[in-house]
Amino acid sequence: MDIGKRIKNRRKEKNLRQEDLAKKVNVSSQVISNWERGYTEPSQSDVAKLADALDCSTDFLHGRTDDPSNSNEEKLKKLPLEEGDSIHFFDMEGLDEDDIEFIKNQIEHLRKKAKKNDTDK
């Protein structure tokens, strides 16, 4: 089943009209209609918004699973970063605390580098 059909079926399961879903995702009802009919496909960020609005996983919408639940939630690990930011990782099985700290430091380093590059422009 394609993403449009999954959006439509899940929307109906949640007793939402296209207009209701459009408001939740911050798009027009025409955009929802186009997605559901397969005329266009949602961007990755829109798929994430749809998953939140439809209370399902992005994997479900993409057809990678038939289970709409966010079954990966228990695998979710949140790493705090600077300035109150955080990053989410899935499936960190096999990584010890040193590995996780290394990843966190690399991300912080890349963010600082990107921020410096922005101020240099």
What pLDDT score does 22 carry? 96
Is the pTM for the entire model greater than 0.75?
no
Q: Are 41 and 35 in contact (CB under 8 A)?
A: yes
CA-CA distance, 93 to 17, in Å (whole number)? 40
Closest-CA residue to 50 (of 84, 9, 79): 9
Whole-number mean pLDDT of the chain? 82
What percentage of the chain exceeds 70 in pLDDT? 79
Q: How far apart are CA 37 and CA 22, in angstroms?
A: 15
